[in-house]
A and B are shown apart, each in its own frame.
Chain A
Amino acid sequence: MDAHSQQGAPHEHSRSKEKDKPALGELQPYSDPYLILDIPRAATSEQIKDAYFGQVRAHPPEREPDAFKQIRAAYDRLRTPERRVETDMLLLQEVDLATELTAPAFDLDVHREDLLSMARAFSDLERTDFREHFRKV
């Protein structure tokens, strides 16, 4: 951190925060702590802990500080039941739709309504001009 960014007055802090803030709708990318820890969403707290330590062993902080930071942040989001409720509620959900979609169903019959509608074309049902039916007033 350079000396300029160490200035302490709260309003300064606020201004610099504002400046760094991304545009609306372009905020931080989505991350799923379960994916980072490589565990199912229904994992127990023991499984979460085990997965965390496993990931830390695989990505030790001294060798992979960025990966460790991610792992640590993911673990923090799942560590307590309260945090986990919030984390779970803020996870994007999969939609329960089959990727094997059903074949489209077509109705390829001849409809009596269509036959009738052609006959109607010869009747007064589809006429709009009935001036010859007008009475003199």
Chain B
Amino acid sequence: MSKHKHFSHHARRSSKQDASFQESLSQRGRNAFHAGRLGEAIEHWERAAKKHPEILPALAEAYFRRSLNHPTAAPDQPLHDLLRATELVPNDAIYYYHLALAHHRRGELDAALIAYAIGAGLPTPPRGLAFAMALAQLETDPNVEPSALNRLAENERALINTLAPLLRGDTAFARQSPTANSWLQSLVAKFSGADQMATLWRGLAHLLAGDTAAAQSALEPAQGLVPRAQALRHYYLGVLAARRGDWSAARVDWEQARARGLDTAWLRANLAAAHLPSAQAAVQAENWRGAVEHARAALRAQADHPTAAQVAVLALHQLANAAAHKGHWREAMDLIREANEIYAKAHKTDSTTRALLQNLAIASEQSEQWEQAAQSWRDLIRTKPRSKKAKDTFTDAQWDWMRRRAILDLQRAGQLAPVITLLKQKVKAEPKDIATRLELVEVLMANQKETAAGNELQRILEIDPQYAAARLKLAEWHVHRHEWHAAEQQMHLLLEQDPSNTTVRGRMANLMHQRGRSLHTDGRVAAAREVLEQAVTFAPDDVEIYIDLGRADLDLRRRDAARADFEQAYRIGGKKLATHEQIVRCWIIDRQHDEVEKAMARAETDLPPPLDPLFYVHTGLACFPPTAPNPFGPARAKRVDDEWEDLGQAWIERAVALKPDDDELLHHIVGDCLDMQLPVGAVYAERLTQRTPDDPLAWITWGFLRAMSGQVNEGKENLKHGARLARQQGLSEMEQMANDLRRELDTPVVSLASSLGLPLGALFGQPEEEEFEDADPEPFWTPPRRRRR
């Protein structure tokens, strides 16, 4: 076969196949159409229509029929279908009529009138077109006589002629007798219910004319009305009742109107308002539950009714407060949340919004609903005015606190990662929104994404180099990474911007204080002193800095300077025991006996007697060297010195003499010794056993301290005695504890700790943080009796 023949054969075959395919599409479309699957029919026929124009009327019909069946969820679809139908068959008045009706229902009167006019101009316009068109014309302007009037049937014309003056406010119709309306006679013949409708209209005409009694009697009969008219009758009966001030009757009628499908804005507003007198009476009587119920009913009618929202919020707030005062926080949270939702629908953001959000956050935290709490804090943060100059009720410190709290609550909820994603999206959408960027920084920091947080801070400062909060945060970021110098640079930049900013000056002092202490601990005392001296220029009333400065001067053998530093500390904090105690300890570390005596005497002179015995305990214990040198930390005392130990012992005894019968004081001394002064602790633990020989705990404590001070066998004996006493007294858990301790004393690691004088907590780990949130770190074992500190 030649090439040419081959192609022509192929083309013939393909053309045949195509025709058959088109035929099949038409048929499939027809099948679908008759089965009521209009969408499928349209799909097939649209494909076949190019080659089979005879399908077009069927296709148009399919579009038309589909337009009548669309769900209300797709309000635009009927219009599209009808437009396509009119495109496909442009000379069919039915399609234009339905297109006009579709526009008319949507309130698109101009478009409706054009479609009505086209339909009216085509052959055989459908019955009803002229009436609907006249209505559209009246709706557009009741003062213009409808052009379609001459095409109307007599009854329709009569109806329009009655309606038009009513719409214009002309109520003469009301005064005519029913039999005087010729249109009514024809209406009655044509439409069932038309006579009742006429009565209803007459009632409305009376109402328009201000004759409420006549309106009432015209509106009373209820028989034979179509549902819409029945609903309207109830609505206007409600209006009449409201005009009389009978709110409850009005409410009943308006509820009836709503139940019959009427849903106009004025019905919703009036129904809401009709509940308010009862709600307000309940408010006046402080019947908050009643007020909430009435307000909720009002809001069911109109969710954004401002007065109903006001009543609801007020009553819900009162109920929430009462619940909170009883500790019923979950109930309070639910009430505030409802109040917040109601208020947000009806009002713009204002001080009430803020109060509700703050209360919601508080109640959510108390109910441990962390996610809700975080969300509420974040919503509150979003109410911050954008302009820095705008007056605001919250201070910068409070805004900061809220940001931190939101993040803390998110952490508690385990929700930081999604927040980061959300904030990043927000930043992407609004790259110059610095507040969001700063929030992102906080969240990144809380989620330990430090590098990302640092980068974000740099970006903020590129956008606005004067943004103090970001620079302060960048300084904190450097501190977090122990980049002291970089942190200080940022603080200097801030101080250049605003030299008198007390917050920045305070933070700068704190920063330098930390750096000074860190240098001192590392043995770089001269450098530490220099930094502390700068720190004090930023916080001239900070006692701690002067004391640390004094310590540095003592280590540099500059005792006169140290004395001057301590004088400054006395000047500022001389009325506080802690100041005296710290200064005494500095002189103890420097082993200056005379100075220590002087400082003690000064404390006793400057402070009102008697001094707290703990002052003598703490200073006394400072005189003792640690049990053994700690190889992992700085030396705490320079050398063992009997004279100092005697002095320390004397002060502790002075404390005991001040409160000779105070067992708690002995417990306190023993507790303080557990860290590094085990033999001293053993002395006072023994004294406890003498004072309370039947107390198993005293024996256990003494046994433990003796064992840890090297008297292992004796200590074990004491523990055994303590266990026996506990058993006799039925304290099984305490007995178990004593036996456990005895066994643990045999382990090599405890022996090593004991011989090195290590703080025992370092070996055994600290108790769980949440157990002792407010306490100092505890050693491996603490006598269970509560310490007094």
A113 at the interface (CB under 8 A from B): yes
Closest CB in chain B relative to A17 CB, distance in Å: 8
A44 at the interface (CB under 8 A from B): no
Residue of B nearest to A17 (CB): B771
Q: How far is the CA of A17 from the CA of B228 in the complex (A)?
A: 66
B208 at the interface (CB under 8 A from A): yes
Q: How far is the CA of A29 from the CA of B313 in the complex (A)?
A: 22
Whether the pair A110, B307 counts as a contact (CB closer than 8 A) is: no
Report B126-153 residues with CB < 8 Å from chain A CB.
126, 128, 131-132, 135, 138-139, 142
Known: A8-B783, A92-B359. A120 touches B283 (CB 8 A): no
Whether the pair B204, A90 counts as a contact (CB closer than 8 A) is: no
Whether the pair A105, B734 counts as a contact (CB closer than 8 A) is: no
A20 at the interface (CB under 8 A from B): no
Closest CB in chain A relative to B289 CB, distance in Å: 17
**What residues of A have a CB within 8 angstroms of the CB of B767 in the complex?**
10
Whether the pair B317, A95 counts as a contact (CB closer than 8 A) is: yes
Whether the pair B228, A81 counts as a contact (CB closer than 8 A) is: no
Residue of B nearest to A107 (CB): B266
Known: A22-B327, A115-B167, A123-B135. A8 touches B356 (CB 8 A): no
Whether the pair B270, A106 counts as a contact (CB closer than 8 A) is: yes
**What residues of B have a CB within 8 angstroms of the CB of A101 in the complex?**
276, 280, 283, 307, 310-311, 314
Report A107-130 residues with CB < 8 Å from chain B CB.
107-126, 128, 130
**CB within 8 A of B208: which of A13, A29, A110?**
A110
Closest CB in chain B relative to A121 CB, distance in Å: 5
Closest CB in chain B relative to A33 CB, distance in Å: 14
Whether the pair B733, A14 counts as a contact (CB closer than 8 A) is: no
Chain B interface, >50% SS class: helix
Q: How far is the CA of A96 from the CA of B354 in the complex (A)?
A: 10
Closest CB in chain A relative to B400 CB, distance in Å: 8
Residue of B nearest to A105 (CB): B273
Q: How far is the CA of A9 from the CA of B752 in the complex (A)?
A: 23
Q: How far is the CA of A96 from the CA of B156 in the complex (A)?
A: 57
Interface segment, B57-65, B532-540, B544-552, B646-654? Answer: B57-65
Whether the pair B782, A92 counts as a contact (CB closer than 8 A) is: no
Known: A24-B368, A81-B397, A89-B401. A123 touches B131 (CB 8 A): yes
Residue of B nearest to A14 (CB): B771
Known: A118-B200, A119-B163. A25 touches B329 (CB 8 A): yes
Interface segment, B235-243, B609-617, B755-763? Answer: B235-243
Interface segment, B318-326, B417-425, B516-524, B678-686? Answer: B318-326
**What residues of B have a CB within 8 angstroms of the CB of A122 in the complex?**
131, 156, 159, 187, 191, 194, 197
15 new A-B contacts at CB < 8 Å, known A96-B355, A122-B191: A3-B731, A6-B697, A7-B734, A24-B368, A25-B329, A29-B324, A98-B310, A104-B277, A114-B236, A118-B229, A122-B156, A124-B132, A133-B98, A134-B65, A137-B62
Could you show 13 A-B contacts with beta carbons less than 8 Å apart?
A7-B737, A25-B331, A30-B325, A89-B401, A93-B355, A107-B269, A110-B204, A110-B207, A110-B239, A115-B167, A116-B135, A133-B94, A137-B57
Residues of chain B touching chain A, judged by Cβ–Cβ distance below 8 Å, are 30, 33-34, 57-58, 61-62, 64-65, 68, 92, 94, 97-98, 101, 104-105, 126, 128, 131-132, 135, 138-139, 142, 156, 159-160, 163, 166-167, 187, 191, 194, 197, 200-201, 204, 207-208, 226, 228-229, 232, 235-236, 239, 242-243, 264, 266, 269-270, 272-274, 276-277, 280, 283, 307, 310-311, 313-314, 317, 321, 324-331, 333, 339, 350-352, 354-356, 358-359, 362, 365-368, 395, 397-398, 401-402, 405, 697, 729, 731, 733-734, 737, 767-768, 770-771, 781-786
The 5 closest A-B pairs by CB, nearest first: A25-B330, A8-B784, A93-B355, A104-B273, A29-B327
Residues of chain A touching chain B, judged by Cβ–Cβ distance below 8 Å, are 1, 3-4, 6-10, 12-14, 17, 22, 24-30, 81, 85-86, 88-99, 101-102, 104-126, 128, 130, 133-135, 137
